[in-house]
Each structure stands twice: as structure tokens, then as C-alpha cells.
Amino acid sequence: MGQYERLVLMAEDELTQYSTDARKIEKLRQKIGLSVSAAEQRQVKAQLEAELPTGGIAQMIETQRQTVALPFWGIAGLGLLLGISFMQPLDLLATVSGAAIAIGVQKWGWRLEAKRLVLTTLEEIETRVRNPS
């Protein structure tokens, strides 16, 4: 596992904690500062800048992943309700597919948010190195 994946996993761990973004960045900044060299930080930052979306559906999923996944959870629930009440196994297919899409959207959004947190942290580290005040 490279530094890139390790930093994203550290950011995902920070996202599980209920705290402000500033606190998450501060905790992540300390971890990155201790474990990643400056050259690796620049390399990961360049890779993140090239990879993260700047617009479109990916940007919306990054910021509003639960809102985007909500209709698919509704389809899954409705498919389950209709499949059970009308004894229609085909409706259960809507349950499985709706839940799979909703989970996929939320995982994708979670990953994008973690990458954005790493990028923001690396930018803050770079700013503090330039202006140590």
C-alpha cells in the first residue's frame, strides 16, 4: 500500500469521528507531518489534484452523497414492500438493485470526501511551511 492509499485511509478514519472539519484537518495534519516526507506529500497532492472532480455529478456526489443515494434507497424499499405484499419476486430485484446502487453511491462519495480532506490538509501543511506565523 502506497502513501496515497494510506493517507486516504487515514482521512476516512477521521471522517468517522464527529468533529468539525478544522479539527479533522488538524488531527490529520499531525499524522501526515510525522509519517510522510515533503516529497511524498507533493507527489500525493499532485495526484489528488489531477484525480478529484471539479464539476458534474462527481462533485455533487462528493458534497451531497446521501441526497443522491436517497431515491435509490426509496426504490429498494418500495421494491421490498411490493415484492412482499404482492408476492412478486421480480419486485425484489428492484430492492437488490436499488440498495446496491445506493451503497455504491455512498461509498464513492465517502471516498471522494476523504480525498478532498487529504488535499485540504496537504494544502494547509504547504501554507504553514511557507508562512510559519
- CA distances for 25 relative to 16, 21, 31, 82, angstroms: 13, 6, 10, 45
Distance CA 49, CA 129 (A): 19
Burial of 54 (0-12, 13-18, 19+ CB in 10 A): exposed
Q: For residue 1, what pLDDT is reported? A: 59
Quick one: CA dihedral 131, 41, 62, 12, positive or negative? negative
- Mean pLDDT per block of 10 residues along the chain (133 residues) reads 87 91 92 88 92 88 93 93 83 91 96 94 90 78
Quick one: CA dihedral 33, 38, 43, 47, positive or negative? positive
